[in-house]
Structure 1
């Protein structure tokens, strides 16, 4: 007992005003503790339970760890397992109450929705709908049709490329600048003039809208997602296909949640014949529905 008192006396100083210092002779507060180090290799404070498991520790580099065991804290506050917060103030937009950095650190920061909005002002075509190995590129390029681009997409053209091993020329693509999850939503309408070249007696054309990707610097595209819609023919009272059977708006849609994993990935969209009636001449296009101010749109939101 005497040894404990002597050791405590050697490292402590009681100031005349009732201030206590540990490892200092000039305490500046009621309890003033000065550690012996200033790096992450030594501890200023350590609490253990009866099983010698560390519960709370503060390193000499100012990092504090809770419930880490023998591990060293790697942030100003490093906590293992859940944290419960009570009576926190409510933050209004544009602030996120809690965000998590890639390192795992919890932060508060302003939030903004990054998006891309493209509204097509002219039609594109003409193309065939008769061969499942033929891919028609849906073009996207910078210009007045881009109504917003806070996500920072860029654009490019591959003069020659392959899509699922099929050769395609002049592919206009979008460049996704940074990894993340993006929601692509596209809507347009297809039409073909005149009677089908061949009829399957289904009275419809099955059309794929294809979402394809390629790595940065590559011109080899592969399918990520396929959306299939059906162009339905007009018919006469007798049931026969009308001469202008597909010459009106047939919706073609695409909704894809895409996870980009590397910088500057390339995204390109295509129209592809899937079955049913067919047109082997270039008489199909994307048209403007009645009362619409556009020929289709693409909206992308970074999630």
Structure 2
């Protein structure tokens, strides 16, 4: 059977009588002549929306009942409704940032708890992935916990959310320490600090403390160069960003024990590793 067509291609074939957005191919009314169901020329279908035109492929007013729905598997997200009321299912992707350092970073001292050394994570080939859309920048000068620091390399978080930061690197210092304590160790802080968009005033959110083990060479054997062994420096932070383009910067600073007043300390490449440290950020 064909309606508005002399050559039906189905048991019931209806052709719209026009090509405007308001043209309907099919309309069903109740006994009071109120529209219950309609299909417009553009394919949008409306149920119980009155005389309004459907604004999406499937436009329904009031409740819908679903039974025996299948469970969706990756890469699809569960059914959700956007701000306009449209129900949608779309592929999802993990938002992450992955930085793997390919060269040494260092020449800093470890002797004063009020001195902070920035850990840089610049844009470039060391960025292995950035689906989270992190930005990069450098503050020529700024403060960390009210202490002055120059050339602060930072990352910007483009949108609010909860992010898991995981950093790993190793530290060592050349030669004997400037001063020795009875600990036989150097206590080193790794700081996770944040600043608002447009600000260069950083405040500490989280501190991780690790210790450099004394009297070891690069292979771990006892040696007169006390701190040449690769000593792990770790940081794991779940951070909730509450505003767009918040700034994040990481620092190391001296926490106690033996000290190096000269710039004799570095982040190095452990034996057997293909990198000098990494930072992985995942949006949760």
What TM-score results when the alignment is normalised by the length of structure 1? 0.70
Q: Distance in 2 between matches of 1:171 and 1:263?
A: 20
After TM superposition, what 4+ stretches of structure 1 lie above 4 angstroms from structure 2?
A: 28-31, 33-36, 58-62, 75-79, 83-86, 99-107
Q: Which runs of 5+ in 2 are unaligned?
A: 1-26, 36-47, 53-58
Figure out how many residues of one structure are paired with residues of the other and give that number. Answer: 236
The higher radius of gyration belongs to 1
- For residue 92 of structure 1, report the CA deviation from its aligned partner: 2.4
State how 1:1-303 maps to structure 2 within 5 Å: 31-34=30-33, 86-99=67-80, 107-234=88-215, 242-303=223-284
1:99–1:109 contact (8 Å) kept in structure 2? no
The CA distance in 1 between the partners of 2:231 and 2:254, in whole Å, is: 14
Check the 8 A contact 1:117/1:299 in 2, yes or no. yes
Cα offset, 1:272, TM superposition: 1.0
Q: Report if aligned partners of 2:213, 2:229 keep a CA contact under 8 Å in 1.
A: no
CA distance 1:170–1:77, shift in 2 (3 Å): farther
Q: Is the 8 A contact 1:189 1:249 kept in 2?
A: yes
TM-superposed deviation, 1:199: 1.5
Are the aligned partners of 2:49 and 2:61 in contact in 1 as well (CA < 8 Å)? no
Q: 1:91 to 1:249 in 2, by over 3 A?
A: same
Write the deviation string for residues 77-117 of structure 1: whole angstroms up to 9, x where unpaired: 677xxx99652112221101244657898653211001111
Unaligned runs of 5+ in 1: 1-27, 37-57, 63-74
Residues 185 and 299 of structure 1 are in contact (CA less than 8 Å); yes or no, is this contact kept in structure 2? Answer: yes
Distance 1:98 1:118 in 2: 33
For 1:249-291, what per-residue CA distance to the aligned partner results, in whole angstroms no more than 9, with x for missing partners? Answer: 1000111111111111111000011111111111001000001
* TM score, norm. by length of structure 2: 0.75
Structure 1 vs Structure 2 CA RMSD: 2.8
